[in-house]
């Protein structure tokens, strides 16, 4: 009985993971065959380098966003503001690191706190005032970059502080530090979701909000907290993004990354309508998107047309996840021999 149960759960999990993983594997296989040097790994000064590592490293920002976005989407919401929140966090960090006498931990905490406040604003609008998530988070998506501009006084603020530069460019145990952050956040999120009742509440609210409220779940608080958490994740991604380029660029930091994050979550098997969520699936989705981008670069596809093959692959994965589509295809295949 006990094995039955765990098998059932694992099967549900695996079924959701199959398509994004298959797409990723296919893409990597394609590169193995046709892109010379794609799988080349080397160790320089004790750090790993290579296209695969680049995918992990560059995918870190979207992976971080996708973790928070997964919980938000599981409640039936969406957070469009994460890109702008990244800009805010980067701006705060860059301003404070250049200010004399601010200790480094305070810089990091202040940047994350600003992101959390932004998330709380979203959460208040969606949870407290029941404003539609798209509209509520659109406000900060638009206004957030303005806020970041205010913080940086309209300038691009550069910095050279080695510790802040390490966040996006350093290595820990051979792996790029952003990857370490992702792994740590995955562990934290998974613990939060599965070892507390947060995951149950999020899924219950996303699946049937009325019934959850009648069962005593505070849907308002649950939603509020998911947006706060999404803000926190965006803050971390913002630090990585600023650190990567050693400056805070309010106009371009995290631009359009909210769309990649939403895509990653959907590709990973979590439905936009809310309910069951799959954290690992979202990360695989983010990796798939990044692998596509990296493949384009490696194959010298011009940046202007790169979104087209990307879109095709994503549409394909989404279609494969749709049961209706699979049934239709199965029907066609079955009819033909007859």
Residues interacting with another protein, by CB under 8 A? Answer: 1, 4-5, 8-9, 195-198, 200-201, 203-204, 207-208, 210-218, 275-276
**Nearest distance, CB of residue 35 and another protein, angstroms:** 40
**Nearest distance, CB of residue 8 and another protein, angstroms:** 5
CA dist 66 and 264 (Å) reads 6
Q: Measured from the CB atom, is 55 or 205 closer to another protein?
A: 205
Q: Measured from the CB atom, is 203 or 249 closer to another protein?
A: 203
Q: Measured from the CB atom, is 212 or 294 closer to another protein?
A: 212
**Percentages of the chain per state (helix, strand, coil), in multiples of 5:** 75, 5, 20
Q: Measured from the CB atom, is 8 or 163 closer to another protein?
A: 8
Tokens of 78: 């969406």
3-state SS class at 176: strand
Residues near 204 by beta carbon (within 8 Å), at least 6 away in sequence: 211, 212, 215, 217
Q: Contact 107/97 with Cβ under 8 angstroms?
A: yes
**Nearest distance, CB of residue 273 and another protein, angstroms:** 10
**Nearest distance, CB of residue 330 and another protein, angstroms:** 22
For the chain, how many residues are written? 338
Please, is 113 exposed, middle or buried when counting C-beta atoms within 10 Å of its C-beta (0-12, 13-18, 19+)? middle
**Nearest distance, CB of residue 75 and another protein, angstroms:** 13
Q: Measured from the CB atom, is 213 or 299 closer to another protein?
A: 213
Nearest to 145 by CA among 94, 98, 90: 90
């Amino acid at each position: 009985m006990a094995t039955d149960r765990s098998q059932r759960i694992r099967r549900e999990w695996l079924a959701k993971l199959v398509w994004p993983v298959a797409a990723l594997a296919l893409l990597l296989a394609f590169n193995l065959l046709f892109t010379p040097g794609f799988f080349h790994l080397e160790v320089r000064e004790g750090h790993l380098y290579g296209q695969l590592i680049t995918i992990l490293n560059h995918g870190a920002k979207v992976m971080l966003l996708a973790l928070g976005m997964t919980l938000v989407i599981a409640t039936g919401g969406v957070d469009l503001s994460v890109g702008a929140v990244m800009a805010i966090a980067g701006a705060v960090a860059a301003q404070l690191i250049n200010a004399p006498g601010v200790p480094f931990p305070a810089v990091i905490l202040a940047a994350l706190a600003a992101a959390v406040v932004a998330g709380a604003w979203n959460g208040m609008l969606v949870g407290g005032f029941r404003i539609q998530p798209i509209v509520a988070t659109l406000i900060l998506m638009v206004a957030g970059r303005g806020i970041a501009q205010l913080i940086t006084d309209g300038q691009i603020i550069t910095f050279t502080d080695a510790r802040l530069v390490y966040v996006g460019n350093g290595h820990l145990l051979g792996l790029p530090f952003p990857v370490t952050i992702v792994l740590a956040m995955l562990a934290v999120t998974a613990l939060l979701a599965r070892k507390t009742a947060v995951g149950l509440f999020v899924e219950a609210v996303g699946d049937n909000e009325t019934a959850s409220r009648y069962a005593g779940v505070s849907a308002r608080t649950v939603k509020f907290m998911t947006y706060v958490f999404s803000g926190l994740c965006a803050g971390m991604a913002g630090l990585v993004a600023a650190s990567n380029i050693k400056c805070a660029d309010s106009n371009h930091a995290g631009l359009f990354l909210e769309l990649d994050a939403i895509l990653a979550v959907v590709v990973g098997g979590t439905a936009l309508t809310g309910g069951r969520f799959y954290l690992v699936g979202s990360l695989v989705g983010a990796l798939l998107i990044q692998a596509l981008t990296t493949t384009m670069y490696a194959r010298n596809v011009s940046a202007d047309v790169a979104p087209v093959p990307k879109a095709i692959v994503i549409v394909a994965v989404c279609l494969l996840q749709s049961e209706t589509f699979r049934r239709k295809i199965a029907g066609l295949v079955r009819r033909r021999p007859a």
